[in-house]
Structure 1
Amino acid sequence: MPERPSGAPRDAAGPLAGVRVVDLSKILAGPYVTMSLADLGADVVKVEHPDGGDPTRKWGPPFNGPDATYYLSANRNKRSVVLDLKSPEGQEVVHRLISTADVVVENFRPGSSLQELYSYESLCEQYPELVVLHISAFGDSGPMRWEPGYDMVAQAAAGLMSLTGEPDGPPLKAGFAMADLSAALFGIIGVTSALVERARTGRGQYVTTSLFESQLALHVSWSTGYFATRERPRRLGSGHPNLVPYQAYPASDGEFVIAVGNQEMWRLLCRTIRRDELLEDQRFTTNADRVTHREALNAELEATLRERTVEEWCAQLGEAGVPVTPIRSLDEIYASEQTQVLGMIGTVDHPAVGPLEQIRFPVNFRGKRPELRAAPPLLGEHSRDILAEIGYSDAEIDHLLGGVS
């Protein structure tokens, strides 16, 4: 493992304490990887361009302090240094940083000068223990490899939008940035796996994933269903392709979700809503029958479920053992007892905002959740400290920062 420079943070705890990450990425997928590694204890140095830094700092409103909340969502527990990656001086600083690092994360545009300057081929010759994660839109090979892409482009190109929306409505993107975030999660798995292998072999490696590949990996049952039937799937709204009833249903004052996963739940549902005759209807006897006659069954259920409120149905069906829930909005979720008991919301002090609420890392270690150590950094907030750590004098730091201000 590269030697940690004197003066670098030593107070982090967690499975990745002692690991240094140089974050050359921007927007969401890469920064979410590096934030997660930081949550797990890694020392993450976020390298930002002097012309405004990570573009998401301006992706608002809403803003909270000088930065957009979009930026604040994916950059906590990091330190920011401002460098011009294309200038000779900036390149020298980055290489000095990389020489102290275990991991580099980047999402440079394919074919760009930055991808050439910091290619894995050149980095691995100089730093054979280095793990490099590259995230792209469509992968490192194939006819689409050169195409740029944002989350919605990948959702459209990789099938998610074709599966999302009502059957008679237009295709929709998912409410979350599922293409970016799925690539981030697979990237985290790739980096941590490469670090485990490096502990065994002593050598780093080049890890790649893309928004496109990650979306295909999450097709799961959709893909296996298509491979078996060769039938193009259709949008089902909130419905499930393989289970019925398993979707949102209308009550008298809103909608709620019922999820029937086996025959016993089906019997409980029919008896609780006092529609026992549905159990005798041969169109609905088995799950396969119910999938085949989805529209007819849903019409029967909707006619009954519209007679009472969401609260009444959720109470009755829940007590009977049928999986059921209201469709909660974010304000309700964040205020809920379940969220509070799990400790999923934490607060960290931001130098411009004050107390800043954040959703915490969703994995516990020995019963404890990783700490929120530091707020998302201001642009270049730690430039002086980081440059001093890797051996630059005060005069050299003044020169470097004067050159990028």
Structure 2
Amino acid sequence: MSIKGDYVINVLNDIVILDASKGIAGPYCSMLLQNMGARVIKLEFEQYPEARNDVRYQLWNRGKEQFCLNLEKPDSKSILSELINLSDVIILDGIESELSKNEFDYESIRNLKENIIYTIIPPYSSTGPYKERHGNEYSVGAAFGLMGDQGDDGIPEFVRVPTAAYGAAFNCSYHITAALLWKELYNEGKKIEISLSHSAMVMQSAQFMTGMNLPTRKPIIRDGIRAGVPIYRLFKAKDGWFFLAGGNPSFWNKLCMGLELEELVIDERFIDAPWGIPSEYHLELAEIFEPIFKEKTLEYWEQFMKLTDIPFAKVGTKSEYITHEQMSHNKTIELVKNNNLGNTKQISNIVYFDGAKTEINPLVKPTGYDNYNILTEIGYTQQEITRFIDTDICYGNNE
């Protein structure tokens, strides 16, 4: 690893990732690895013109080499074999028994390269009653609590963030780096499986913990939202919303004293505040605080919470986040030129190594753009490459 200006380079230098996934989790995972310096080859089997028009495709496939292979052609098998041998890692999604039809199952890939790191992201799992069941990040997330537990009792809410896919991407990226360390030490590959269903659960980990002695809390609904613990929730001010994070007894005491409600500190109903307040008293406490917060502006409450040292944040939108002074300082959002979309604002790499981070590559190449160079690299002659292109074994732009 070395430093170049404000950027780190060569963190995962010489690591080759073959990304043959189609959904969100796989491309996002390989983008995270590419951010760390890995070389990522995006392997596609169709030209997907509609997918390429999606902003998400333009984000998650930035900086990757593009290779497009027609699996219906007999010669594609030998090309695939060479691509596998070039790679340290392969990322796939879907149901493994279906992937086996094109020899993308673990045993087939391992027979081509024994020490490959094989990563698969199935909807549910490769075992159990749902092993053959199809699904995506939203349907799986709905099945595993991401939507059913967000709204009022019995009324689910559509969660727009593809949480199950993001969880799978994050888990895959760090498990792949752990497997790369193992491979470096012992020259052995690994099979990594991280399902969308398990990822949906991991992203809600504490909520799945149960036990006889664990307290149960029944949330109340206020102003059309789930309120949660009375001083650890969203509140409405005179001119907008804010989140109050009064998550310990010290913050509780400071809030009560700052609002000149000292009597609440010794009130037996709230004696174990904030987390130990019995659910039957949540509504009573909410009815005390809500009218007070609605009387003043967000600016007033921001200064009040700063003076009383209580965690507070005005509720912001994504457009406000992009121009936020803290984000501008950290260059979390960067202005970059995308070859398909023109000037864009995109999230940068948020991880720092010794105060620096890796530079993003916003270029999204056309389908098959790197066919020629990669075919040359893996040993094919000019005559063979011309035949592959002329017979649509490798199609796309074929630069």
Alignment of 1:229-244 (within 5 A): 237-240=225-228, 243-244=229-230
Equivalent position SS for 1:140:
coil
1:90 is matched with 76
Q: Does 1:375 align with 2:360?
A: no
Q: Does 1:38 align with 2:25?
A: no
User: What letter matches 1:213 in structure 2?
Assistant: H
Q: Determine if contact 1:244/1:291 at 8 Å carries over to the other structure.
A: no
Q: Determine if contact 2:238/2:297 at 8 Å carries over to the other structure.
A: yes
TM-score by length of 2: 0.88
1:218 is matched with 203
2:177 is matched with 192
Equivalent position SS for 1:183:
helix
Change (3 A) 1:213 1:289: closer
1:235 and 1:189 map into 2 onto residues whose CA distance is 37
Q: Determine if contact 1:158/1:212 at 8 Å carries over to the other structure.
A: yes
In the TM superposition, residue 175 of structure 1 has moved relative to its aligned partner by 3.3
User: What letter matches 2:199 in structure 1?
Assistant: S
2:118 is matched with 132
In the TM superposition, residue 181 of structure 1 has moved relative to its aligned partner by 0.4
Alignment counterpart, residue 236 of structure 2, candidates 250, 258, 262: 250
Equivalent position SS for 2:363:
coil
Q: Which runs of 4+ in 1 moved over 6 A?
A: 230-236
Change (3 A) 1:349 1:389: farther
Alignment counterpart, residue 56 of structure 1, candidates 51, 75, 88: 51
2:282 is matched with 294
Residue segments in structure 2 that go unaligned for 5+ positions in a row: 1-7
Deviations 1:149-178 (A, max 9, x none): 11111111111212212x257211333110
Deviations 1:275-329 (A, max 9, x none): 3332232211222442532121111110211111122112211221010110000
Deviations 1:245-265 (A, max 9, x none): 101011112211001121111
1:299 and 1:182 map into 2 onto residues whose CA distance is 37
CA RMSD of aligned residues (A): 2.3
Equivalent position SS for 2:120:
strand
Equivalent position SS for 2:183:
helix
Change (3 A) 1:85 1:319: farther
Alignment counterpart, residue 313 of structure 2, candidates 308, 313, 325: 325
TM-score by length of 1: 0.87
Equivalent position SS for 2:188:
coil
Alignment counterpart, residue 194 of structure 2, candidates 209, 216, 221: 209
2:83 and 2:57 map into 1 onto residues whose CA distance is 23
Alignment of 1:260-275 (within 5 A): 260-275=246-261
1:323 and 1:286 map into 2 onto residues whose CA distance is 20
Alignment counterpart, residue 25 of structure 1, candidates 21, 24, 42: 21
Deviations 1:39-90 (A, max 9, x none): 111100001123426x632xxxxxxxxx221211211121111112343222
Equivalent position SS for 1:163:
coil
Alignment counterpart, residue 399 of structure 1, candidates 381, 387, 399: 387
In the TM superposition, residue 132 of structure 1 has moved relative to its aligned partner by 0.7
Larger mean CA deviation between 207-216 and 286-295 belongs to 286-295
Q: Alignment identity in percent?
A: 26
Deviations 1:346-394 (A, max 9, x none): 2443333333332012211121111113422222222222222222233
1:161 is matched with 147
Larger mean CA deviation between 13-22 and 285-294 belongs to 285-294
Larger mean CA deviation between 44-53 and 292-301 belongs to 44-53
Q: Does 1:179 align with 2:198?
A: no
User: What letter matches 1:219 in structure 2?
Assistant: Q
In the TM superposition, residue 13 of structure 1 has moved relative to its aligned partner by 2.6
1:223 and 1:14 map into 2 onto residues whose CA distance is 39
1:62 is matched with none
In the TM superposition, residue 205 of structure 1 has moved relative to its aligned partner by 1.2
Q: Determine if contact 1:108/1:114 at 8 Å carries over to the other structure.
A: no
Residue segments in structure 1 that go unaligned for 5+ positions in a row: 1-11, 58-66
1:235 and 1:125 map into 2 onto residues whose CA distance is 56
User: What letter matches 1:34 in structure 2?
Assistant: S
